[in-house]
């Protein structure tokens, strides 16, 4: 009798915990360049040196680059401003000059294409040119200018083919700034009840704000396990929405109310990796 009673008590304790629902989500990670442009306002500048061929090529390359960023980061058509700067100034790629462009365009990140250098010795066939690109991210803790350079080859500088050549060059340069997508598995905590099921359904539809509204309402309880579960879920939603500081804050609240290491440990590692 005592053994049976112990088993019943043990089952009751186990049943008090939340059920975990596993979700596989495709998450965006920083590009191969190491820069994370997600959720940021971006502008692209190109330098001019009063050379019609070089300036025309640089403008077309910059605009093609901007078009790719708009598509990759789904920011909308013409959301990336394209402006020109005086390339004859020796300081046009320095930190202060790039900050001035940020202020001028109201952006968080600015890319600057320096005037490309065509090889004057090539008289026929493929024409190599050097491309130098600078970037300043006003939201990056390093507070410095990042520089990228490389060479590419075009077949002609004739006006009839110049625009296409420049567009291809812009697309090639953009490759290292494309976001990387990875599948990750997350757990959502829930209990038996219509509100918990409603929130779970919204999360499955990636309506994180809608799910959060329900989880906020579920915080009004004296059951610390349920409260901690709702706080944990809010942390997951904040993470999905890209607010890693707020995700960390809600996760700490969850741990304080009722720590669930099997849920919170993995989330802690994810948040710290994104914050750093």
What is the CATH number that goes with domain 42-178?
A: 3.40.50
- Nearest-angstrom CA–CA distance, 217 and 227: 10
Integer CA distances (angstroms), 166 to 1, 55, 70, 116, in order: 84, 11, 18, 11
pTM: 0.65
pLDDT at 25: 84
The fold for domain 18-31+181-275 equals 1.25.40
- pLDDT of 220: 93
Q: Radius of gyration of the chain from Cα atoms?
A: 26
pLDDT at residue 123, rounded to an integer: 56
Distance, in Å, from the CA atom of 202 to the CA atom of 252, rounded to the nearest integer, reads 24
pLDDT, residue 241, reads 87
Residue range(s) in the chain whose domain bears CATH number 3.40.50: 42-178
Q: Which residue's entry shows tokens 């304080």?
A: 256
Which of 261, 264, 257, 262 lies closest to 221 in space, CA to CA?
257
- Using alpha carbons, select from 76, 82, 80, 68 the residue that is nearest to residue 31: 68
Give residue 46's Cα distance to chain centre: 24
Closest to 64 in 3D by CA, of 176, 170, 174: 170
pLDDT by 10-residue block (mean), the chain, 276 residues: 37 63 82 82 95 92 94 80 91 92 94 86 70 93 90 74 88 86 88 95 94 96 95 95 92 94 91 78
**Cα→Cα distances 21→163, 200, 257, Å:** 51, 8, 21
Q: What is the structure's pLDDT at 121?
A: 55
Give start-end residues of each CATH 1.25.40.10 domain in the chain: 18-31+181-275
3-state secondary structure of 80: coil
pLDDT at 3: 42
């Amino acid at each position: 009798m005592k053994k049976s009673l112990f088993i019943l008590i043990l089952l009751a304790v186990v049943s008090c915990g939340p059920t975990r629902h596993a979700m596989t989500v495709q998450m965006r990670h920083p590009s191969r360049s190491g820069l994370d442009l997600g959720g940021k306002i971006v502008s692209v500048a190109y330098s001019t040196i009063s050379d019609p061929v070089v300036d025309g090529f640089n403008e077309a390359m910059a605009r093609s680059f901007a078009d790719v960023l708009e598509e990759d980061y789904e920011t909308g058509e013409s959301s990336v401003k394209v402006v020109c700067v005086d390339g004859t100034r020796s300081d046009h790629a320095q930190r202060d000059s790039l900050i001035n462009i940020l202020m001028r365009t109201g952006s968080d990140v600015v890319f600057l294409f320096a005037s490309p250098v065509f090889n004057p010795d090539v008289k026929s066939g493929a024409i190599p040119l050097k491309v130098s690109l600078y970037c300043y991210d006003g939201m990056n803790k390093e507070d410095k200018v990042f520089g990228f350079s490389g060479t590419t080859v075009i077949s002609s500088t004739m006006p009839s083919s110049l625009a296409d050549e420049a567009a291809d060059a812009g697309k090639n340069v953009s490759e290292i700034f494309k976001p990387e997508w990875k599948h990750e598995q997350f757990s959502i905590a829930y209990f038996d009840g219509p509100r918990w099921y409603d929130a779970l359904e919204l999360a499955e539809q990636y309506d994180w704000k809608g799910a959060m509204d329900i989880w906020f309402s579920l915080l009004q309880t004296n059951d610390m396990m349920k409260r901690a579960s709702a706080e944990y879920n809010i942390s997951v939603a904040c993470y999905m929405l890209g607010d890693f500081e707020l995700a960390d804050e809600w996760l700490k609240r969850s741990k304080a109310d009722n720590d669930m290491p099997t849920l919170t440990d993995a989330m802690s590692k994810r948040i710290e990796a994104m914050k750093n």
